[in-house]
Structure 1
Amino acid sequence: MSIWTQITAAVSALAKGEPLSAVFAQLRTPPERSIAFTIAVIALGAKMAKADGLVTRDEVMAFREVFQIAREDEAGAAKVFNLARQDVAGFEDYATRVREMFGAGHEALGDLLEGLFHIAMADGQYHPNEDEFLKGVADIFGLGEREFRQIRSRFVPEAEADPYSVLGLTPEASMEELRAAWKTQVQDSHPDRLVARGLPEEAIKMAEKRMVAINRAWKDIKDARG
């Protein structure tokens, strides 16, 4: 059974008139979290699309890149997207329910925020409303300012100048500290680690961009320090 078949089943199980955000209360166990993760990215992505005022073709294509949506599954993904857009509940309710489902401090929350950045930057522009939206989601998820900037620096061109922020450290850090941070992030980005913490296999490709940024930052620092 594909993840999209499972998502369709989870959405169909909602009671009449029940908002899409209610689905997260039913998907708390680890095997079901990959379903919830996918719904969360699509739903919060839909809320973010409303934040910047429009849905571009690039943003729609970004969903397909992150989740590798097959043609036959597009209708199911579109249904989740539209349900979230039509829901009167704000993004705060969705983000809060997702945090409660995974638990405060869960690594998947950072992965989810990364997916939203991928979608936000799909059209090549980073709208101020998107920045405000993503910062609000990060706050609800319990992600600190440094972690938020660390993720943003991997996606927003004007934020990429500092390779130290990509590794989550400052220029004052020693080479040993920087090397350790680089190794840790590389290990944390391994597909097996991502699946273990709730990401669907369809979203593992999302980590490729992260790995490129991490390795580039480490190389830039090594080159700068000789």
Structure 2
Amino acid sequence: MGIIIGSLLGYKFGGWFGMLMGAWVGHTIEQSITGGRAGDSKKQTQESFFNALFLSMGKLAKVDGKVSPSEIERTEGIMQHMKLNQEMRQRAINLFNQGKDPSHNIDSALSQFGRLARRSLSLKQIFLEMLIDVAEADGMISQAEHRMIEQTCRLIGYPVQLLSAMMKMRGFRSAGGYQQNQQQGANRQQSRRPTNRNAPFNPYQVLGVGESDNKTTVRKAYKRLMSQHHPDKLVSKGLPPEMMKVAEEKAKQIQLSWEKVKDLKGW
């Protein structure tokens, strides 16, 4: 309820960015009142995250008819970032292949992850971000892929309205499926390169803000993203330890983007 109220108020006063910010504030307030997620084993949540993620990646890659080389490459890149040992790597591959099988239903795995994650909005968001990374590997999210991601939101208990806001902030516009703006697509490809101060990337795109936004708006976006993607915080909520490196790189990219915007604006 806190997420719903916060997102509605945020959208009214701040558009898509306000919706995400409001949802996060509402989620935080609700957690402080209810005491947050309690009683579930962190290990169970980590196992569920891992299983649901690679099953979903396999299903998503196959949902529009065939698995593209770019989708395989993107999934492989995620596994490399996770630095999986041989046993865990094989397990991830097996789950991916199970997900590709049209006869294999992954709904129960997603529902289980949603139950274990409960009110952990940030954990569910990073889960969806990784699915979107696979879906957009070729710069286009098809209607079938988008429908599946929306269904995933419902099964794990993540508001679909926030998914739409997330997609718009990532530079996607509706065009049959979700077609990424050409320039923003190029910027996102650049932003996936190793995060160092000499690497070209669009810091506004990483932060989900516009070049004309004021310092207060950009700072709020930066703080919200850092809170959502803080590695230790995510692991404490059930992010698999193997995902720590991915979360760390994302947090570094967010920090670097904030520093870059401050330099560009002279703040």
Same fold at TM > 0.5: yes
Indicate the residue corresponding to 1:85 in structure 2: 100
Matched, 1:142 2:159: yes
Query: What secondary structure, in the 3-state scheme, does the structure 2 residue paired with 1:88 have?
Result: coil
User: Are the structure 2 counterparts of residues 87 and 125 from structure 1 closer, same or farther at C-alpha, using a change threshold of 3 Å?
Assistant: closer
- Give runs of aligned pairs for residues 178-197 of structure 1, distance below 5 A: 178-197=218-237
8 Å contact 1:33–1:198 — kept in the other structure?
yes
1:74 aligns to what SS in structure 2? helix
- Counterpart in the other structure of 1:64: 79
CA spacing shift, 1:54–1:173, aligned 2, 3 Å:
same
Alignment of 1:13-28 (within 5 A): none
**1:225: which partner in 2?**
265
**Deviation of the 1:35 alpha carbon:** 0.7
Change (3 A) 1:204 1:41: same
Higher RCO structure (Cα 8 Å, ≥6 apart): 1
Contact 1:186 1:211 in 2 (8 A): yes
Give 3-state SS (helix, strand or coil) of 1:73's partner: helix
Q: Does 1:114 align with 2:133?
A: no
Alignment: residue pair count? 195
Q: Distance in 2 between matches of 1:138 and 1:184?
A: 20
Choose from 44, 48, 53 the match for 1:36: 48
Match of 2:22 in 1: none
* Cα shift readout 1:109-151 (whole Å, capped 9, x = no counterpart): 1010122234345xx523332455445534652151223434x
* Contact 2:42/2:238, CA 8 A, preserved across alignment: yes
Indicate how the Cα distance of structure 1 residues 164 and 45 shifts in structure 2: closer, same or farther if over 3 A, else same: same
Deviations 1:74-131 (A, max 9, x none): 332232222222253666665455334422562211010122234345xx52333245
Q: 2:140 aligns with which of 122, 127, 136?
A: 127
Query: TM-score normalised to the size of structure 1?
Result: 0.67
Residue segments in structure 2 that go unaligned for 5+ positions in a row: 1-39, 173-179, 189-201
C-alpha change, 1:213 and 1:73, in structure 2 (3 Å) is closer
Q: Deviations over 1:29-75 (max 9, x none)?
A: 33310111111110100111102411534145224224322223333
Tell me the percent identity. Answer: 22
Q: 1:146 to 1:209 in 2, by over 3 A?
A: farther
Alignment of 1:133-212 (within 5 A): 133-138=148-153, 141-143=158-160, 144=162, 145-150=164-169, 152-153=170-171, 157-158=184-185, 160=187, 163-164=203-204, 166-169=206-209, 173-212=213-252
Task: Tell me the secondary structure at the aligned position of residue 138 of structure 2.
Answer: coil
- C-alpha distance in structure 2 between counterparts of 1:49 and 1:149, whole Å: 22
**Partner amino acid, structure 1, of 2:251:** M
- Counterpart amino acid of 2:99? A
User: RMSD across aligned C-alpha pairs, in angstroms?
Assistant: 3.4
- Alpha-carbon distance change, 148 to 80 in structure 1, aligned in 2, over 3 angstroms: same
Find the aligned partners of 1:199 and 1:209 in 2 and give their Cα distance.
Answer: 15
Question: 2 CA distance for matches of 1:153 and 1:210?
Answer: 17
Q: Larger deviation: 32-41 or 126-135? A: 126-135
1:169 and 1:92 mapped to 2: Cα distance?
34
Distance between the aligned counterparts of 2:252 and 2:146, measured in 1? 22
In 1, distance between residues paired with 2:120 and 2:167? 13
Q: Which residue in 2 is equivalent to 1:25? A: none
Deviation at 1:160, TM superposition (A): 4.5
